[in-house]
Amino acid sequence: MDAFFASAEQASKPSLRGKAVVVGGLGPRGVVATASYEARVFGVNSAMPMAQARRLAPNAAYLVPRGAFYRSISEQVMGLLHALSPLVEPLSLDEAFVDLEAGQAAWDEESARLAGIKLRADIRAVTGLTGSVGLAASKMLAKIASEQAKPDGLVVIEPGTERALLGPMPVRTLPGVGPATGDHLRRVGISTVDDLAVAGEDELVRLLGKAHGHALYTMALAHDERPVVAARETKSVSVEDTYDVDIHDRIRVGTEVGRLADRCVRRLRGAGLSGRTIVLKVRRYDFSTLTRSETLRGPTDDPAVVREAAARLLESVDTTGGVRLLGVGVSGLADYTQEDLFAQAAGEQAALEPEGDAEHEAVEERETPAEWRWTTGHDVRHAEFGHGWVQGSGLGRVTVRFETPDSEQPGRVRTFRTDDPALEPADPLPLVALGPRRPDGPAGEPTGQMSSVPASLPKSWSGNGGGGATSRP
Model confidence pLDDT, tens digit, residues 56-70: 999 999 999 998 899
Residue closest to 2 by CA, chosen among 154, 174, 109, 229: 154
Give me the helix-helix angle, 109-127 and 67-84, nearest 10°.
Answer: 150
The residue annotated as part of the active site, out of 9, 38, 95, 256, is: 95
- Cis? peptide before 410, omega within 30° of 0: no
pLDDT score of 28 more than 80: no
Binning pLDDT at 50, 70 and 90, where does residue 109 land?
low
Q: Is 95 a catalytic residue?
A: yes
pLDDT of residue 466: 37
Buried b (16+ CB within 10 A) or exposed e, 9-45: bbbbbbbbbebbbbbbbbeeebbbbbbbbbbbebebe
The mean per-residue pLDDT over the stretch 249-270 comes to: 93
173 near 193, Cβ under 8 Å? yes
Over the stretch 131-178, which tens digit does the pLDDT of each residue have? 899 998 899 999 999 999 999 999 988 888 999 999 999 999 988 788
- pLDDT for the residue 471: 26
Best mean pLDDT range from 123-127, 354-358, 364-368, 436-440: 123-127
324: amino acid identity, one letter? R
The rounded distance, in Å, linking the Cα atoms of 155 and 147 is: 9
Task: Give the C-alpha separation, 264 to 271, whole Å.
Answer: 11
pLDDT, tens only, 356-398: 333 233 223 333 445 557 999 999 999 999 999 999 998 899 9
Looking from the CA of 55 toward its CB, the CA atoms found within 13 Å total 6
pLDDT value at position 234?
Answer: 72
Q: Mean pLDDT across the stretch 37-43?
A: 96
Angle at 414 between CA 408 and CA 418, to 5 degrees: 130
pLDDT at 472 over 70: no
List Cβ neighbours of 347 (8 Å cut-off, separation of 6 or more).
Answer: none
Collapse the DSSP code of 467 into the 3-class scheme (helix H, G, I; strand E, B; otherwise coil) and give the result: coil
- Mean pLDDT score of the chain, rounded to an integer? 82
Q: Each residue of 268-282: b (16+ CB within 10 Å) or e?
A: beeeebbbbbbbbbb
DSSP tag of 409: S
